[in-house]
Amino acid sequence: MLKEKGFKEEEIGIGFIDETSPQHTANTVRVCSFEKTRIIKNTTKFKTNTIGFYAIKGESVKSFIEDSKGLSIAKFLEKIREVNKRYKA
């Protein structure tokens, strides 16, 4: 499709973006029990949004972002473009 728009193969970078948000809080599991059980939870909150561009053709990029909203993602796309200047598409 990009070739149909006039881009040459050497001008096209290819990769995948993946975002994750690891958290310090544990996932709680419900347990069926006939006796009263004590559940211990870690209530410390720690969260970090991590995003990465995994290049098949080009340079990979990873970053920590403030949140997963459009503006943060757009800034990350600009970082990808900056690192992969030799590609036009």
Q: What per-residue confidence (pLDDT) applies to 25?
A: 67
Q: What is the pLDDT of residues 58-82, one digit of tens each?
A: 999 999 998 889 999 999 999 999 9
Task: Answer whether residue 43 shows pLDDT above 70.
Answer: no
SS3 10: helix
Residues 60, 17: contact at Cβ < 8 Å?
Answer: no
What is the side-by-side strand order in the sheet with 14-20? 14-20, 49-57, 61-65
pTM over 0.75, yes/no: no
